[in-house]
């Protein structure tokens, strides 16, 4: 069973036939949280770095529905990079991870499912503050 306490790649179910593929994210599959928000990043310049923050409570599922980009996750002591380049894989991002998104290819789109409504107070935007918070 997938452990949503840790980051990692999850399979995104898809219905495939000779007409192409239809990816599906629905109740609990594969995101076992209420989907309170869906947002997407697109038109990101190749040299842009997005993210650079952590969340205290938010769980997310990030899918490269078009093109590719790199997500680096940092728990305060260890960093892991994930190359997202296929709509049939998603990255689970639990709370408590500093994330940066970079190396967006031309035409890349990141689709994000979120377990909570938008809440600026759930963000930690200062890295030193994040490291102190993560060590509590
Ligand atoms: P932010 O989360 O900082 O984006 P990223 O980490 O990808 O760079 O959000 C960018 C801006 O968009 C910021 O002003 C907050 C706003 N925003 C919303 O209004 N609603 C949302 O659901 C999200 C994710 C961001």
Tens digit of each residue's pLDDT (9 = 90 or more) over 82-129: 999 999 999 999 999 999 999 999 999 999 999 999 999 999 999 999
Model confidence at 80: pLDDT above 80? yes
Four-residue CA torsion sign, 120, 123, 125, 130: positive
Residue 59 token pair:
């769980």
By most ligand atoms within 8 Å of CB, the mutation choice from 35, 45, 50, 123 for ligand 1 is 50
What pLDDT shows up at residue 1? 65
Q: Which atom of ligand 1 is nearest to the CA of 41?
A: 7
What pLDDT shows up at residue 6? 97
Nearest alpha carbon to residue 15 among 92, 111, 113, 88: 88
Catalytic residue numbers? 53
Please, what CATH class does the domain formed by 8-134 belong to? Answer: mainly beta
Model confidence at 71: pLDDT above 90? yes
Q: Which residue has a Cα nearest atom 6 of ligand 1?
A: 51
What pLDDT shows up at residue 2? 82
Residue 89: CB partners within 8 Å, gap ≥ 6?
9, 10, 11, 12, 63, 64
Confidence band of 25 (pLDDT split at 50, 70, 90): very high
Look up the pTM and report it.
0.97
Portion of the chain with pLDDT greater than 70, in percent: 99
């Amino acid at each position: 069973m997938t452990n949503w306490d840790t980051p990692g790649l999850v399979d995104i179910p898809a219905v495939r036939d000779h007409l192409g593929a239809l990816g599906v994210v629905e109740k609990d599959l594969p995101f076992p949280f209420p989907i309170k928000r869906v947002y997407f990043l697109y038109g990101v310049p190749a040299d842009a770095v997005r993210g650079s923050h952590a969340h205290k409570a938010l769980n997310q599922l990030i899918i490269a529905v078009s093109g590719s980009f790199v997500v680096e996750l940092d728990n305060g002591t260890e960093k892991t990079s994930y190359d997202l380049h296929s709509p049939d894989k998603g990255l689970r991002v639990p709370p408590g991870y500093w994330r940066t998104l970079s190396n967006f290819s031309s035409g890349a789109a990141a689709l994000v499912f979120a377990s909570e409504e938008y809440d600026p107070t759930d963000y930690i935007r200062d890295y030193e503050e994040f490291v102190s918070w993560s060590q509590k």
